[in-house]
Structure 1
Amino acid sequence: MTHPRQISVLGVASGIGAQDQACKDGPLAFRHSHAWQALARQPGIDWADLLFAPEVAYTPIQRIAALGRMLADAVAGQLHVGHLPLVIGGDHSVAIGTWSGVARALGERPGLLWIDAHLDSHTPSTSYSGAVHGMPLAALLGQGDKRLLDIGLSGSQIDSAHSVVFGARSYEPEELAFLQRRGVRLYLAEEIARRGFRICFAEALHAVAQATAGFGVSIDLDAVDPGLAPGVGSPEPGGLLSFDLIEAMREVAAMPGLQAVEIVEYNPDRDRHGATAALIADLIELLLVARKHA
C-alpha cells in the first residue's frame, strides 16, 4: 500500500514583479485566514516555508532572480523527499523559481498547464510595462533577461510541446507570436466560449499529461471572473467561472503525473468578503482529497 504524498505549502511573499505590489501580502494573509486554518487541521498538509525576496540593495530584477533561486531550491527539496509542492504567491514572476525547481528535481522538463487571463510571455524588449510578472512564461521557455534563465536546467525549464496556456483574454501580439513559434498550445477565451470549457480543458489536460517527466499547473487567480474572485493583482473583465476551475482542479488532482501546483496573484486588499481566499482553499481541498485517495 502506498502512502499519499504530503502537500507542502511554500508561500512566496513578493510583489516585486507587479505594478500593483499588494499581492506580496497574499501568502501571509491567506495563512492567517479562516480558510487556511480549517485546512491546516487536516492531515496530509503543512505550511513548509514562507519566502521573502532579499532586502539588500539589489535592483528589482536581481531580487526577483535571487528569490527565484531560493524558491527553486525549496521546490526541488520538497520533491526530493516525495512531497507535492504547493506554491502560493505573490506575483506571477515567482513561477520562474517554481518550475525551474521542478525541472531540476526531475532532471527533465515537465509539461505545464498555465491558467491565466494573460499570456505572461513578454521579454524586456517587447514588454509594454516592464513588469516582470508579464514575462515568466517566456523566461521558462528560455527567453528574456539572462538573470532569470537557467535556474533549474540549461535553456527551457518546461516542455513546450506539452505546455498549454488556458483562458487568456488580455495579451499583446508579440506574446502571441512568441508562444506560437515555440509550439505552446493556446486555448484563448474566445475558443473556450465557442467550444465549451469542458471540451477545451479535457484536451489541455491530456496534452500536458503526455510529458514524460510529468506536469504541473500554474493558476493565476485573475483567470477567474473578477466578480467571483475579486482579490487579484490584475483583474480583467470576464473570465472563467469559479465552479469550472474547481471542477477542473478535481480532474487535475487525480492525475498520477502531477508534480507541483502553483496559485498566484492573490491580492487581499481587493478580496471582498474573503471570496478569493475561499476559492484558494477550495482548490487546495481538492488536492488533499485526491492525495488521500491516491
Structure 2
Amino acid sequence: MSNQIGLIGVPTDVGAGVRGACLGPEALRIAGLAKALTGLGHKVSDLGDLDGPPNPDEQPGNGCRNLREVSTWCRLLRDRVTDVAGQGMTPVVLGGDHCIAMGSIAGIAKHCSASGQPLYVLWFDAHTDFNTPLSSPSGNVHGMPIAALCGRIKDSEFDLGVPTPVVDPSRINLFGIRSVDHIEKATLVDSGLKVFDMRAIDERSTFTIMREILDEVTAAKGHLHVSLDVDFLDPSIAPGVGTTVPGGVTYREAHLCMEMIAESGLMGSLDLVELNPLLDEKNKSAELLVDLTGSLFGKATLHR
C-alpha cells in the first residue's frame, strides 16, 4: 500500500433504484475523510469528481436500467483508476452506487496485468450482486457487478474495455452476505466465488475468516482491492443506504476487518460506495465510513 492516496469522486446513482448515492462523495469530504487520512501520515490528493452523464431514471430495458450511463461512468472510472495507480498512488473511489466497482476493478485489473500481480477482491456487502439482466428482479445494475466481473454478462452489455473475466472468480471473497435473490442462490453454487454469509461469520468468527482470506492473498503476493458497500454494516449503526438489511456486521466486527487488512499491508485500492446522505442521520453513516477508512489506513488503539 502506498502512503500516497488519490481520492476519486464518482457522484452517480445510475445503477441504483433509490436516488441519492450521487451525493456520497461530498458527504465523505464533509465528514473529514482527507483530514483523517492526512492525520495518519498519508499524503492525500483529492482529484475531484468525474464528470459523467446524469441519471435519466429510465425504466428497465432488456433487463437493465440506465445501461448507457452505467457504461459511460464505468469507463471513465476505469481510466482514472489505471492512471492513478500508475502514478504510484492508492486509488480511493468515493461513490456513488456499487455499479461503479465494475469501472474501478477494471481499471485496477489493467494496472495489475501490466505489473504482473494477481488481483484479489474483498467485497463487503449485504448482497452478492450476482444478478444478470436475465435474472434481476429490478433491472438495477448495482445488483450485477460481480456477475459482470466474473464474465457472466456479455461484454457488449457493459463494455468495460478489458478481457473477461476481469477477476478470476476464485479470487473474489464476498463478506457479510445476508440477502440473495432466488436465481442468484442457484448460480452461486458453481460460480467459484467464496461467499461468507452472516451465518458463516457467526459460526467461524470474523477473525478466522479474515485471516484465511488475507493469508491466501499474501501467499500469492497479490494486489487486494477492497470494495466496501455501506449496507454490509448493520443499519442500526449505518442507516444512510438505500438497501438496508437487518442483521449486519457490528461496529467492532467492521473495525476488526479493517484493522486486519491494514496490518497485512495488502490493500492497493478501495471503493467506498452506496452512501446515501438523503437517508442518513446527521451524516452518521458518512462519519462511520471515514472512521473505518482510517482503520484501513493504519489507525489503531495499540501498535501490534
Q: 2:68 aligns with which of 48, 51, 62?
A: 62
1-side partners of 2:144 and 2:97: how far apart?
11
Q: How far apart, CA to CA, are the structure 1 residues paired with 2:220 and 2:105?
A: 14
Q: Counterparts of 1:1-294 in structure 2 under 5 Å? A: 4-31=2-29, 33-36=30-33, 38-39=35-36, 42=39, 43-55=42-54, 60-107=66-113, 110-149=119-158, 151-289=160-298
Instruction: Describe the shift of the 1:41–1:27 C-alpha distance in structure 2 as closer, same or farther (beyond 3 A).
Output: same
What is the deviation of 1:152?
A: 5.0
Counterparts in 2 of 1:184 and 1:209: CA distance versus 1, 3 Å = farther
**Partners of 2:163 and 2:265 in 1: CA distance:** 27
Aligned-pair distance for 1:5? 2.8
Task: Give, as a single letter, the amino acid of the residue that structure 2 aligns with 1:233.
Answer: G
Deviates more, 1:43-52 or 1:203-212: 203-212
Structure 1 pair 210–52 and aligned structure 2 pair: CA distance change class (3 A): farther
Q: Which runs of 5+ in 1 are unaligned?
A: none
2:62 maps to what in 1?
none
1:253 Cα deviation (Å)?
2.1
Secondary structure of 1:114's counterpart equals strand
The superposition leaves residues 240-264 of structure 1 with CA deviations (integer Å, 9 ceiling, x where unpaired) of: 0122112211111233332211111
Q: TM-score, normalised by structure 2?
A: 0.87
Q: What secondary structure does 2:190 align onto?
A: helix
Q: Deviations over 1:183-205 (max 9, x none)?
A: 11111111111222222222233
In structure 1, what residue type is equivalent to 2:46?
Answer: W
For the residue of structure 1 that corresponds to 2:123, the secondary structure is strand
Percent of aligned pairs with the same amino acid: 32
How far did residue 177 of structure 1 move? 3.1
Q: Shift of residue 209 of structure 1?
A: 4.3
CA contact 1:9–1:47 (8 Å) conserved in 2: yes
Contact kept, 8 Å, 2:230 with 2:273, in 1: the verdict is: yes
AA matched with 1:225:
D
Q: TM-score, normalised by structure 1?
A: 0.90
User: What CA deviation, in whole Å up to 9, does each residue of 1:125-174 have, x standing for no partner?
Assistant: 01111110000110111122534556253111112222111111011132
Deviation at 1:233, TM superposition (A): 1.9
CA distance in 2, matches of 1:191, 1:52: 40
Judged with a 3 Å threshold, the aligned counterparts in structure 2 of structure 1 residues 49 and 30 are, in CA distance, closer, same or farther, namely same
The alpha-carbon distance between structure 1 residues 12 and 207, as it changes in their structure 2 partners (threshold 3 A), is: same
| CA pair 56-87 structure 1, distance change in 2 beyond 3 A | closer
The answer on whether the counterparts of 1:53 and 1:64 sit within 8 Å (CA) in structure 2 is: no
Inter-partner Cα distance in structure 1 for 2:106 and 2:149: 7
Residue identity in the other structure for 2:11: A
Gaps of 5+ in 2: 59-64
Q: 1:255 to 1:115 in 2, by over 3 A?
A: same
| In 1, Cα distance between equivalents of 2:15 and 2:55 | 16
- Alignment coverage as a number of residue pairs: 288
Q: Which letter does structure 2 place at the counterpart of 1:203?
A: E
Which is further off, 171-180 or 62-71?
171-180
Q: Quick one: structure 1 residues 209 and 112, their matched pair in 2 at CA, closer, same or farther if it must change by over 3 Å?
A: farther
**2:126 counterpart letter in structure 1:** A
User: What is the CA-CA distance between 1:276 and the residue it aligns to?
Assistant: 0.8
The change in CA–CA distance for 1:258 and 1:212 in structure 2 (over 3 A counts) is: same
RMSD: 2.4
